[in-house]
A and B are shown apart, each in its own frame.
Chain A
Amino acid sequence: MHDSGNDHSRPSVQNWQTDFDHQHPDYAAAAPTIWEQIRTSGCPIAHSERYGGTWLPTSHDDVAAISKDYEHFSSQGVVVTEYRPDIPAPMGYAPPITSDPPFHQIARSILLKFFSPRAIDGWEPVARDTCRRLIADIQGRIAVGDDVIDCAQSYSQHIPVMIMADMLGLPREDGDLFRRFIHNIMEQGGGGEELPYEDTIDFYLDSHVAARRANLGEDLISYLCQAEIEGMALLDEHVRGTIALLIIAGIDTTWSAIGASMWHMAQHPDHRARWINEPDVQPFALEEFLRFYAPVTMARLLAKDIEFEGCPMKAGEWTLLPFPAANRDPAFFDRADEFVMDRARNRHAAFGLGIHRCIGSNLARMELRVAMEEWMQAFPEFELADPDAVTWSTGQVRGPRQLPMRFPA
């Protein structure tokens, strides 16, 4: 989950079959072509010595099988780094995403009811209000002659932050801080410098959790402070890790999905017209955005040696789970490399497969839907101001980070 800009120094890749690097800007620029090359090379699973040994499956079936083999493929590490996470089993740093069975289900079920479809319905007005305020701001800027607006910075980035802050009972103004934490964690993952504790998300959350314990409310942090496992309160590390997870997993990801969908629409006037004239197509278009521009690639740490589809995978190596590649597998999808706006059969894996299915999927879908509904209603016409000025993040979460748009008068 690296942000753009930090990996331009990575050694260039000689061969995507034997030396791939998913954090290299060349991968971000041409991933679908690289997956297709690997798929048709005779072995659909690439390997690289980088990061201490990393595998890259590219077919839907292999990604699905690895996602569901919890015995060999552990979630103790889900972001590929140069070093191995030290492993406070059974939780990992950020339960449930870093937990394996059987603890995983316990940690997961504590959260599920907050993210069920009905619970999420209650947040829709907040999302709509957020989008409308952001749009009013942008309209104000256009009215005074601002003709190019960066929609990643002025729109898509802010939508997931408001709800996450409200849900957790944290100040909405801390959005910039959240993004800095996400950036720091992901950069450190790549081998950056240790930050002083006062600058870490751990410090930030420890102080908020302590304050909340003294003064409980109705929010998710208060709930976690009171939750129990077999009659015992959750460990402090568990509460903190879960809150950190929601912040890290909920913001960049949704920002990416909304931004990529806007990037698509900016370049496809026919799809914009169809969105507006044929509202029945919208639910299918939203799932097609998620399939085609799936922002999240996960990883697993090999817990035991296994020969997987002929590949000798060794304990301690990484394997990536490129859900975006699974979503483009021509053996699994018709016209896999085409954006089919009304695709009716779309078993995409943007939110993962198996027991770690994204807990936030109902929230993320609602945010994406509301963001696009409000945007398309306010701005039926818009275009990229300069296609070359668009920048994308590299690494395990992929989406536009600068998205300058122009609006015809």
Chain B
Amino acid sequence: MKIKYDRSACQGHNRCYMLAPELFDTDDEGYAVLLVEGDVPADLEEKARLAADNCPEFAIEIEE
């Protein structure tokens, strides 16, 4: 599983950071920063889906 994060769509709702802090951090202005490169560790796949499913701006996509 890979995460595709679209910085231009992100408006800093921080839902991803709250639900999956292992996968997303935020910068000083509150926009998301994707922490993983490449494959999502298996034990975090559920959290990755949760982050994608709750982003109000559809800025996160999951590629299986």
A200 at the B interface (CB under 8 A): no
User: Which of A113, A347, A353 is within 8 Å of B54, CB to CB?
Assistant: A347
Contact A357 B55 (CB under 8 A): no
Contact B29 A283 (CB under 8 A): no
Residues 334-376 of chain A, each 1 if its beta carbon lies under 8 Å from chain B, else 0:
0000000000111111010111010001100100000000000
How many angstroms between the C-alpha atoms of A323 and B19 in the bound complex? 22
* Chain A minimum-CB-distance residue to B55: A347
Contact B28 A353 (CB under 8 A): no
Interface size counted on chain A using CB atoms at 8 A: 23
Contact A117 B11 (CB under 8 A): no
User: Which of B11, B14, B30, B53 is within 8 Å of A347, CB to CB?
Assistant: B53
Min CB gap B25→A, angstroms: 9
A10 at the B interface (CB under 8 A): no
Min CB gap A359→B, angstroms: 9
Contact B54 A116 (CB under 8 A): no
Min CB gap A71→B, angstroms: 17
A115 at the B interface (CB under 8 A): yes
* Chain A minimum-CB-distance residue to B46: A344
User: Which of A116, A344, A347 is within 8 Å of B56, CB to CB?
Assistant: A347
Residues 1-44 of chain B, each 1 if its beta carbon lies under 8 Å from chain A, else 0:
00000000001111101110000001111100000000000000
Contact A116 B28 (CB under 8 A): yes
A226 at the B interface (CB under 8 A): no
Contact B56 A348 (CB under 8 A): yes
Contacts of A353 in B (CB 8 A): 11, 56-57
Min CB gap B50→A, angstroms: 7
Contact A113 B53 (CB under 8 A): no
Interfacial residues, chain A to chain B (CB-CB below 8 A): 109, 112-113, 115-118, 283, 287, 344-349, 351, 353-355, 357, 361-362, 365
27 CB-based A-B contacts, threshold 8 Å = A109-B29, A112-B28, A113-B29, A115-B30, A116-B26, A116-B30, A117-B14, A117-B17, A117-B18, A118-B26, A283-B19, A287-B15, A345-B53, A346-B53, A347-B53, A349-B56, A351-B13, A351-B56, A353-B11, A355-B11, A357-B11, A357-B12, A357-B13, A361-B13, A362-B14, A362-B30, A365-B18
